[in-house]
Every structure is written in C-alpha cells, then in structure tokens.
Amino acid sequence: MLQENSIKLSSSYAVASKVKDYSQLMKFNLTFMVVFSSVVGYLLVPGVEFNLVKVLLLFAGGLLVSGSANTINQIWEKNTDKLMARTAVRPLPSGRMHDNEAIALAVITGIAGLLVMGYCFNWLSAALSGVSLVLYGFVYTPWKKWNSLAVLVGAVPGAMPPLIGWAAGANNLSEGGWSLFAIQFLWQFPHFWAIAWIAYKDYTRAGFKMLPGSGEPNKYTAIQAAMYTLLLIPAGVAPYLLKITGSISAIVAILAGIFFLYRAINLYRKNDVPAARKLMFGSYIYLTIVQLVQLLDKA
C-alpha cells in the first residue's frame, strides 16, 4: 500500500512538473494579457454581443497561437537563456525538456490555434494570427541580436491581438480595428524599453540589442519612450472619434495617457532602474485601464 501511494505521488508530481514546464514554455501569464486584448477587439465590433462560448474559443485560439510563438522564441534562445539569471531556469536551458519535445509542442499548439480561429471565427483572423506567429517567432526573435530595430519589428505582432479580435468579429480590417492596433503598437515602445532598461545587464550578456541609439540606458532612450507615450494620448481618443466607444473612454484614455507620460518623463529626469520599473508597471496599468473602460463604454 505504501509503495502504491509513493508511486501515485511520484506520478502526480511528474504530471504537475510537466504542466508547469509547458506553462513556462508557452508563457501563459504573459499570454493571458495578450489574449485579453484580442477579446477586447472582438467585443468592440459594432453588433457583436457577449457570448461566453465565443469568448472562450477566442481565448483558446489566442492562447494556443501565442503559446506556440513563445515556445518558438525559447527554442531559438535556449543558449542565450542560459546566460541570463531570470531565464536560466526555463525548461530548455535547464535541460528539463528536449528540443524535439518543444518543437512538437510549438507545431501542435500553433496548428490547433489557427484551426480554432479559422473554423470558429473566420480565416481572416486565422491568417492574421499566422502572420503574427511568424513575425514574432521567426523575425523578431533572431533580430534581437542584430540591432534595436527588433523592437519596431516586435511591436507589430505585439499589437496585432486587438486587430485579430476585430477581424474575428467583423471579418474585415476596417478603421476601428486599426485604431485599436495603433494604441497597442505605440504602447509597445515605452513598455519594451522599460523592460530592456531593467534587464540591461542580462540582455547585454546574452547579446540582445533592445535599446535605441547607442543601445545603453540613458536620456536618449527615456526621451524616445516619452515621445511614444505622448503619441498615445491622441491615439487613445481615436476609437471615440470613430464612434466605437463613448466619451468616457476618451476622457479616461487622455488621463491614463498623461499618467503614463508622467512616468516616462520621470525616467528622463531620474535616469535610473527604479524609474524604469515604475514606467514598466505604468504601462500595464495604462493598457489594462484603457481596454477595460473601452469595453464598458462601447458605443
């Protein structure tokens, strides 16, 4: 009996450990926020009503495609992940998972996600999801070692989720979808640069070039971040001008944009890691608040 219980506990631990490794490989915590923006884009389409089944299917498709892209990213970066303290414990660099298993996971989840998007919504959203996966996994990921334009390249797939959601609901790429894309596209720059500032030593050790200009955390980087946060203020009003959302969302977007801009200006003034960390958290606050209010204030 004792031996049977030990075998059961061992099996349960092995399963839990494998699930945890898959979760780390697919970056479910990060992916959840990405997919949420896709759901926002879907629900903001005029005439689309909340349907739990559809929302769950969109979540599933988005999680699978994004998870596949993140897995491809970690396959590419297995050797560089070994050089960074925060990534050395991931399944591939730590040796807990073989490359072939990760490749199989990326292929299965990628295909499954695209099929969910295509059959449950439309093939336009599936095609956009495929483009996003390829850009992130096979263009942005290797580009990070070439030059800092990788952030510009990565901002495209990073901003596509709300456009994918819009396409899933509207089956077109009209102005409303592009206005949501623009907000998330501009948001990417201060967000990524804040992270790159904080992780500068790790990134340098791995050979990643993520910061603009000289590639160092300095006032030039901070002023660039401030410029993009400034552009977010008018971009945040665009959905209201296009009659997708109401006036409350426009007011909140302006106030959230001013808050975000203040964090960027603070980075320029202080030029240090604590200010960069505040900008990073400010980016999460901005996007979460703006998207939630857009949903609540749908026209």
d(CA 53, CA 154): 31
DSSP classification of residue 272: S
In one letter, which amino acid is 203?
Answer: Y
In this structure, the number of other CB atoms found within 10 A of the CB of residue 134 comes to 15
Class for the domain spanning 1-173: mainly alpha
In this structure, the number of other CB atoms found within 10 A of the CB of residue 178 comes to 15
Residue 12 confidence (pLDDT): 57
Q: What is this structure's pTM? A: 0.92
Residue 147 confidence (pLDDT): 83
DSSP classification of residue 138: I
Distance of CA 151 to the CA centre of its chain: 12
The residues of the chain scoring below 70 in pLDDT are 1-16
Residue 2 confidence (pLDDT): 45
In this structure, the number of other CB atoms found within 10 A of the CB of residue 243 comes to 10
Query: pLDDT tens-digit profile of 103-160?
Result: 899 999 999 999 999 999 999 999 999 999 999 999 998 888 888 888 999 999 999 9
Domain segments of the chain as ranges: 1-173, 175-299
